[in-house]
């Protein structure tokens, strides 16, 4: 019988290095396309950590919700994208960086409070400024808590990638942290200033006319079931017209001139948080509005959000005007502060080539 050549055996072992393939000799295995030559730490610990059906989970999600909907449901937003994984945090926040920064913020707050108490600084607060803190800054924490708990905390579960989940988790945690810091600060002021009531803020939030427009805006944003809509409206409409106006153009600007260096330090942490979050929001919507397949439809949606929410935020913002008359030392007129806020809002929209719908003004 003629001898036949033995067939080449297929490698069937799990031993490392047993099978050679393209890239098998590389010292680093990268299963995604980094933005630069090498992946950053953020990309290494974030991208594709959660499997996605559009990339590495071709058979679909292994588990489902009780109503048989998938773990990540694209129907949770009307916005569409050819590749959601293109949207990342431009600040490259990951767990270690986030906790380090939060620790630094809280340590700064603690040291400022300790220094103020040891130097009896609270005695230098002008009485009229104290009323601003008691009635209005204390009310603002309810807006921050509402958006952090009932918008961003829910958005982080419904967004379609782990990168978006992280972005929303960070902003939720930052808003809740700031609301908590304001609560602690009110308690400290109640101990340091005779007659100061830490509960006045709740009364103002529920009944003071200056806050009802903001309360209405927050509740309508929270009621939305579209996480992309909430993201756009909060960071591109609500924050510049209301959040930044109150924090940066009122509390931070007026505080030092009315004997208070403590409150501006605390409020500045929320301003820094927003600046970082705004950068990611703008870049994300550049991707969504520039999408070759879905960009036009996305732009129509976004313009509808502007038409719906911009008048709401504008009205709420103008409702704060009486606050500018309360401090003894008035640094700026409300009209000037509002003009800066409106300019910031329009600048954000122009970065996305969004024009105001007919009949809508800031």
> Residue 183 domain-assigned?
yes
Q: What is the pLDDT of residue 307?
A: 97
> Residue 356 domain-assigned?
no
Q: What is the pLDDT of residue 194?
A: 94
3-state helix, strand, coil in the chain (%, to 5): 65, 0, 35
> Residue 3 domain-assigned?
no
| HSE value, Cβ hemisphere, 13 Å, CA-based, for 25 | 1
> Residue 28 domain-assigned?
no
In DSSP notation, 160-227 reads SSHHHHHHHHHHHHHHHHHHHHHHHHHHHHHHHSTT--TTHHHHHHHH-HHHHHHHHHHHHHHH-S-H
Residues of the chain with pLDDT below 50 are 1, 7-9
Q: What is the pLDDT of residue 9?
A: 47
pLDDT tens-digit readout, 2-45: 555 554 445 555 565 666 655 566 666 666 777 777 788 888 88
> Residue 207 domain-assigned?
yes
Q: What is the pLDDT of residue 134?
A: 98
CATH of residue 224: 1.10.620.20
**What domain range includes position 346?**
91-350
Q: Round to whole Å and give the CA distance between 62 and 165.
A: 19
> Residue 16 domain-assigned?
no
> Residue 177 domain-assigned?
yes
**Residue 64, beta-bridge partner list:** 70
Global confidence as pTM: 0.89
> Residue 245 domain-assigned?
yes
Q: What is the pLDDT of residue 70?
A: 73
Based on the structure, what is the number of domains in the chain?
1
């Amino acid at each position: 019988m003629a001898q036949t050549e033995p067939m080449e055996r297929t490698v069937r072992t799990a031993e490392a290095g047993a099978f050679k393939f393209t890239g098998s000799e590389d010292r680093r295995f990268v299963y995604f396309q980094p933005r630069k030559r090498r992946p950053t730490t953020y990309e290494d610990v974030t991208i594709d950590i959660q499997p996605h059906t559009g990339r590495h989970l071709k058979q679909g999600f292994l588990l489902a919700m009780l109503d048989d909907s998938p773990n990540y449901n694209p129907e949770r937003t009307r916005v569409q994208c050819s590749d959601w994984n293109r949207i990342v945090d431009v600040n490259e926040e990951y767990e270690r960086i986030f906790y380090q920064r939060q620790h630094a913020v809280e340590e700064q707050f603690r040291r400022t409070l300790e220094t103020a108490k040891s130097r009896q600084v609270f005695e230098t607060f002008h009485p009229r400024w104290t009323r601003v803190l008691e009635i209005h800054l204390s009310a603002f924490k309810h807006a921050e808590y509402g958006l952090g708990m009932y918008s961003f905390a829910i958005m982080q579960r419904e967004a379609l990638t782990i990168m978006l989940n992280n972005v929303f988790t960070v902003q939720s945690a930052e808003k809740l942290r700031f609301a908590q810091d304001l609560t602690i600060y009110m308690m400290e002021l109640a101990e340091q200033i005779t007659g100061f009531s830490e509960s006045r803020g709740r009364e103002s939030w529920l009944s003071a006319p200056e806050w009802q427009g903001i309360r209405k805006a927050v509740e309508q944003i929270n009621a939305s079931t579209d996480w992309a809509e909430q993201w756009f409206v909060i960071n591109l409409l609500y924050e510049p017209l209301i959040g930044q106006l109150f924090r940066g153009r009122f509390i931070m600007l007026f505080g030092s001139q009315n004997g208070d260096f403590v409150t501006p330090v605390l409020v500045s942490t929320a301003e820094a948080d927003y600046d970082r979050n705004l950068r990611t929001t703008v870049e994300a919507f550049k991707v969504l509005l520039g999408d070759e397949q879905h960009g036009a439809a996305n732009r129509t949606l976004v313009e509808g959000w502007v038409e719906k929410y911009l008048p709401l935020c504008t009205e709420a913002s103008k409702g704060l005007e009486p606050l500018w008359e309360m401090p003894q030392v008035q640094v700026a007129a409300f009209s000037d502060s509002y003009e800066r806020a409106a300019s910031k809002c329009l600048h954000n929209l122009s970065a996305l080539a969004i024009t105001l719908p007919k009949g809508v003004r800031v």
